[in-house]
Amino acid sequence: MKIAVLGATGQTGQYLVNQALQQGHTVTAIVRNPAKLTVHHDNLKVVEADIFSADSLKTHFKGQDVVMSCLGFPASFFSGVSGYTLSMTSMISAMREARVNKIITMTSWYTEPNSGAQSSFLIRFLLLPMIRSVLTNMHEMEKLLHNTEDISWTVVRPPGLKNLQASAQEFLTHEGYFVPDGSGLPVGSAVGRGDVARFMLSLLNSNAWVNKGVAITTK
């Protein structure tokens, strides 16, 4: 397939680009700083664009089969985070103009404000408040996609991320804001970035999670 990747220089994005190329896809990596992407491949085109401008993106979206986003924005205590919604708004607009109708993006477990109630004490009272500004904007972006009827979307929600290559482990999935065990408590707390990329790419040939948010982890 022809894939436009945003966030390609980020930690998860680099795994996604490499795996997509290994699987024989043609990748257009849309980046702010091309020097940051050290991969070279005949099927890889690296282009510079402004992720907050639909005009800047639409040229690079033309002819693509799917847009995949691994964009991430840092937490902010003082001002809210807005990068997720602003970039998604420009992506959706550019996709409409370029006639691309499929997007796969990633957020996180616990984006919905009350979904962390079953999590461990440390996560609930220490980690989640620290990243609440990010989770809030991720959730706003998810709602934006929910209200987008002309584009096929999937939101992949991983828990904590580790810098690990893809494994062969089986995925556990749940349509919700975390993966529960039999008693409704969260299963596991971290997953390898390579596995997140592996799951996102598995959606290219599947309609399993179209227009849904799916929480994932590995067994």
| pLDDT recorded at residue 189 | 83
Amino acid at position 80, single letter: G
Helix axes 193-202, 11-22, angle to 10 degrees: 50
Residue 192 — φ and ψ, nearest 5°?
Answer: -70, 140
Mean pLDDT of the chain: 96
Instruction: Report residue 1's pLDDT band, with 50, 70 and 90 as the boundaries.
Output: very high
Strand, coil or helix: what is 132?
helix
Per-residue pLDDT, averaged over 83-96, amounts to: 98
CA distances from 104 to 77, 88, 199, 203 (A): 28, 11, 10, 8
pLDDT at 93 > cutoff 90: yes
Instruction: Report residue 34's pLDDT band, with 50, 70 and 90 as the boundaries.
Output: very high
| pLDDT recorded at residue 23 | 98
Instruction: Report residue 70's pLDDT band, with 50, 70 and 90 as the boundaries.
Output: very high
Is the whole model's pTM more than 0.95, yes or no? yes
Q: pLDDT digit string (tens) for 165-174? A: 999 999 999 9
CA distances from 91 to 20, 55, 87, 132, 139 (A): 20, 10, 6, 24, 17
Per-residue pLDDT, averaged over 44-53, amounts to: 98
Residue 60 — φ and ψ, nearest 5°?
Answer: -85, -15
Q: pLDDT digit string (tens) for 176-200? A: 999 999 889 999 889 999 999 999 9
Q: How far apart are CA 163 and CA 193, in angstroms?
A: 6
In the beta sheet, which residues pair with residue 191?
A: 161
Instruction: Report residue 77's pLDDT band, with 50, 70 and 90 as the boundaries.
Output: confident
Q: How far apart are CA 51 and CA 49, in angstroms?
A: 6
pLDDT at 78 > cutoff 90: no
Q: pLDDT digit string (tens) for 99-136? A: 999 999 999 999 999 999 999 999 999 999 999 999 99
Over pLDDT 90: what percentage of the chain?
95
Q: How far apart are CA 24 and CA 29, in angstroms?
A: 15
Over pLDDT 70: what percentage of the chain?
100
Least confident of 2-11, 33-42, 151-160: 33-42
